[in-house]
Amino acid sequence: MERHPLEPFLPEGAQTLMLGSFPPSRKRWCMDFFYPNFTNDMWRIMGIVFHNDKNHFVDVEHKTFRREAIIDFLQQEGIALYDTATAVVRTKNTASDKDLEVVEPTDLDALLRQLPHCRNVVVTGQKACDLFTAHFRMQQPRVGTSEPFTFEGRPMLLWRMPSSSRAYPMKVEQKAEYYRKLIVDKLTS
């Protein structure tokens, strides 16, 4: 069994919580933070959406991400990060969601209680969506759309975004358009 190696990233006043499933094994990390695999496109997507530059958060020469710039960006934008599983077994020793057996799901209620200003939850993959919607007994949104739910009297939206994994069959620029519509058109209005 493997326990989650990171603490939730919960900037004060965060209005958005992004949830993945579980980090890849440490040997695949290029930095000590969320979405650490250099082949994962999350930080390229954010670079495109916020700076029109897919390498804005990428240190191309050293094949890593600019961790401090990412943290500053997330704090400024009020975006919290964590995952929907806190303990897993890798059935085939890969980073793929389909090879993750969730032993302990994240206590989503406790996580949301730590984010009193949060009104939007973004899931970044199918397993994250499955775990979240099962917990809240709600309908799954289609990719690029949202479904309303209520948490302890707080009206919220669950957004389903395309996976940032390269295994997801979509170009990074297309993925960024989904995120741009969510972030620019919905979360900032």
Task: Tell me the residue type at 52.
Answer: N
Q: What is the pTM of this model?
A: 0.94
Supply the pLDDT for residue 189.
Answer: 47
What are the Cα distances from residue 47, in Å, to 41, 70, 97, 176?
A: 10, 10, 24, 9
CATH number at residue 139: 3.40.470.10
The per-residue pLDDT for 51 is 95
Domain housing 126? 2-187
In this structure, the chain runs to a length of 189
Are residues 178 and 144 in contact, defined by beta-carbon separation less than 8 angstroms?
yes
- Phi then psi dihedrals of residue 179, to 5 deg: -65, -40
Residue 188 gets which letter from DSSP?
T
> Into how many domains does the chain fold?
1
Give tens-digit pLDDT for 94-137: 778 888 999 999 999 999 999 999 999 999 989 999 999 999 99
Instruction: Look at residue 187 and tell me whether its pLDDT is greater than 70.
Output: no
Residue 97 confidence (pLDDT):
84
Task: Using the predicted structure, report yes or no on whether residue 188 has a pLDDT greater than 70.
Answer: no
